[in-house]
Amino acid sequence: MAKQLMKGNEAIAEAAIKAGCRHFFGYPITPQNELPQYMSRRMPQVDGVFLQAESEVSAINMVYGAAGAGARVMTSSSSPGISLKQEGISYLAGSQLPCVIVNIIRGGPGLGGIQPAQSDYFQATRGGGHGDYRVIVYGPASVQEMVDLTMEAFDVADRYRNPVMILGDGVLGQMMEPVEFHYKPAEGLPAKDWATTGAAGRDPNVINSLSLVAEHLEEHNWRLQDKYKEATEKEQRWELYNCDDAELVLVAYGTTSRIVKSAVNQLREQGIKAGLLRPISLFPFPEKAFAQLPSSVKNFLAVEMSAGQMVDDVRLTVNGATPVHFYGRTAGVIPGPAEIIKKAKEVAGGEK
Amino acid sequence: MEEAIVVVGDYGSGKTEFSINLALHLSQNHQVILADLDIVNPYFRSREAVKTLEAQGVEVIFSREWGQADLPALSPRTDSALREDKVLILDVGGDDGSIVLGRYRKQLSQRQAGIWQVVNCMRPFTADVEGIMDTASRLEHKSGLAVSALVNNTNLGRETTAELVLEGAKIVDAAAARLDVPVLWHCARPALLDQLDARLDNLLPMEVSLFPADIT
């Protein structure tokens, strides 16, 4: 299939359809509206279901229902809407139901603004709702990567029987880049023999997150933790750029990583040995990438469109072995290469 | 009286980039006003090119006070601009966004107005003649105005080639023949103009891009 020019929001929607998603439940909010809009136009063409729910709480519980019945299902929203969905996400994780959730982040807190941000990193990577659970989170940096990771997200959700989140921001959702779609279903995915598909000829399946005996619930929790451990071992994803001889490694994901890449190129032209470590999976955080870095690295600089959230994972990973610095703009302001370069020079100069 | 140009099209067809570049092009010989009527999408609107446009003497109309709000705010200046003898370009929001034109239908009917549909054949719903015609009828249904011309804006962003623009030109020409309207412009980045000059008439140089320059 030839390339098309698509917005990130549309590309996620088409990728979901290509990956076999035929159920979408959502509620509008800027800056992700093109996603449900596209779904409303495409789902009828592929005999799928598009439903605009009366609220985000309704939408996520419709996702629970469709996932419980064994369907590939998606919902999307932006920051305040994702907060409303947290109760449902906790229930999905507790009931071990696969689904794909898209958060195209806008500035917060509260109703915030409508410009791009990365300030929902904590919410996404720490679980977000109540209880001991995690959501597998991907942070794409281009429209093509939004396509590829969305398709993969459905497979990963089915493999781990767990919600998977695509974490984007307003720029990625809105900007247009050439994309192509190549979906090859993953092999060896487990059969959905737990789904409530009608109990004729077998014992009924029950989907529930309630467990009133503490010891039973603890046992269930350890099973969930085992899944997160397996995901941490197998699902880490990252990109290293110009890191082979780097003395300063900038760490950034999503839109910010594209701007940081511009900054790294300019720093290199000015003789500063800078590189970029770009986490692609945000949970699990790509700790393995740090182990691959050369011993020449003297400083890390995390750059985010937040007041400093992913930088905590960088600090936990580096564990005091190397200084970790931070530069961020928040609330919808996008950092430019010049200010990142200025901070990078401060950090690199501080070593002398 | 100068023409009012109403720029419509599907989401992401390039209406805004076309409107900005057309305004810059026409400002060489005309007094031009560009009104941003995009009430749907708060990102990548023509108001973002205000400085470039104003430097060329183009007046840009948008709701300055509520420009970043998620509100369907229109400036009253558009109403008076519709009565002035200047080239007036109305940059309308995609698809459903053309509903806004109902608000100006009466005034538009009282002056010469072209309804130009911008088409990018590399976009999902306008890849062929049928898709372009279907979009035209959706736009006409929502705006209450008939499409009077097509604009070929076929591109793949940074990966656009001259061949791609020419392939798009063929499809858009065929759709225009079916709709019985002319193709007024073929849009191309300045770097491609040399290759296209001998092969397409009415080339519009797309000098200004809204793709964020800081992104590698």
Domains of chain B and any CATH numbers: 10-205 (3.40.50.300)
Indicate if the alpha-carbon torsion angle B40, B45, B48, B53 is positive or negative: negative
Alpha carbon A302 to its chain centroid, in Å, reads: 18
- Tell me the C-alpha distance between A115 and A209, whole Å: 36
Most A CBs within 10 A among B16, B40, B43, hence the mutation to make, goes to: B43
pLDDT band at B41 (very low <50, low <70, confident <90, very high): low
Q: Is residue B167 within a helix (H) or strand (E), and if so which, with residue range? A: helix B162-179
Q: What is the mean pLDDT of residues A295-322?
A: 98
Q: What is the ipTM of this complex?
A: 0.91
CA distance B189 to B191: 5
Position B130 pLDDT exceeds 70: yes
Q: Do B157 and A177 touch (CB under 8 A)?
A: yes
- Does the structure show a pLDDT above 60 at A208? yes
**Between the CA of residue A232 and those of A86, A150, A249, B125, what are the distances in Å?**
22, 19, 23, 40
Best B11, B71, B95 residue to mutate vs chain A (most A CBs within 10 Å): B11
Determine phi and psi for B136, rounding to 5 degrees.
Answer: -60, -45
Contact, A127 vs A258, CB < 8 A? no
**What average pLDDT score do residues A31-44 get?**
95
pLDDT at A285 (0 to 100) = 98
Asked if residue B158 has pLDDT above 70, the reply is yes
Are B214 and A336 a contacting pair at CB < 8 A?
yes
What is the least distance, in Å, from the CA of B153 to any CA of chain A?
Answer: 12
- What 3-state class would DSSP assign to B125? coil
Q: Is the pLDDT of residue A352 over 70?
A: no
Residue B200 has a pLDDT of 94
Q: Superfamily for A4-188+208-234?
A: Thiamin diphosphate (ThDP)-binding fold, Pyr/PP domains (3.40.50.970)
pLDDT band at residue A1 using 50, 70 and 90 as cut-offs: low
CB A73 within 8 A of CB A139: no
Residues of A with Cβ-Cβ distance to B42 under 8 angstroms: 30-31, 114
How far from chain centre, in Å, is Cα A142?
A: 13
Write down the architecture of domain A239-349 according to CATH.
Answer: 3-Layer(aba) Sandwich (3.40)
CATH code 3.40.50.970 region(s) in chain A? 4-188+208-234
b/e burial code for range A155-185 (CB count within 10 A of at least 16 → b): bbbbbbbbbbbbbbbbbbbbbbbbbebebee
| Calculated CA dihedral for residues A41, A43, A44, A46, nearest 10 degrees | 130
Give the Cα separation of A63 and B125 in Å (integer). Answer: 27
Q: What pLDDT, on a 0 to 100 scale, did the predictor assign at position B112?
A: 85
Please check the confidence at residue B49 and state whether its pLDDT lies above 90. Answer: no
Q: Given a cut of 70, is residue A153 above it in pLDDT?
A: yes
pLDDT digits (tens, 9 = 90+) for A83-113: 999 999 999 999 999 999 999 999 999 999 9
> How much is the average pLDDT of B91-95?
83
Orientation angle between helical segments A56-68 and A86-94, nearest 10 degrees: 20
For A169, the enclosing helix (H) or strand (E) is strand A163-169
Among the partner residues B43, B70, B155, nearest to A174 by beta-carbon distance:
B43
Residues of A within 8 A of B158 (CB-CB) are 177-178
Residue with the larger pLDDT of the pair B210 and A218: A218
Q: Is the pLDDT of residue A351 over 60?
A: no
Q: In this prediction, what percent of chain A has a pLDDT beyond 90? A: 97
Q: With an 8 Å Cβ cutoff, are A262 and B155 in contact?
A: no
Residue whose C-alpha is closest to residue A301's, from A346, A344, A244? A344
Grouping H, G, I as helix, E, B as strand and the rest as coil, residue B212 is coil
Q: How distant, in Å, are the alpha carbons of A4, A51, B24, B139, B172 from that of B191? A: 21, 44, 17, 32, 22
d(CA A81, CA A111): 9
Please, is A47 exposed, middle or buried when counting C-beta atoms within 10 Å of its C-beta (0-12, 13-18, 19+)? Answer: exposed
Taking 70 as the threshold, does the pLDDT of residue A28 lie above it?
yes
Is the Cβ pair A176, B12 closer than 8 Å? Answer: yes
The mean pLDDT of chain A is 96
pLDDT at B210: 85
A255 pLDDT exceeds 50?
yes
pLDDT for the residue numbered B2: 80
- For chain A, what percent of residues have pLDDT higher than 70? 99
β-pairing, A281-283 vs A274-279, is unpaired
Distance CA A186, CA A92 (A): 22
State how far the alpha carbon of A138 is from the alpha carbons of A154, A166, B179, in Å. 12, 5, 45
Give how far A167 is from chain B: nearest CA, Å: 18
CATH 3.40.50.920 location in chain A: 239-349
- Alpha-carbon distance A97 to B49, whole Å? 46
Q: Are A273 and A245 in contact (CB under 8 A)?
A: yes
Rounded mean pLDDT, A1-12: 92
Contact at CB, B12 and A10, closer than 8 angstroms = yes
Identify which has the larger pLDDT, B71 or A110: A110
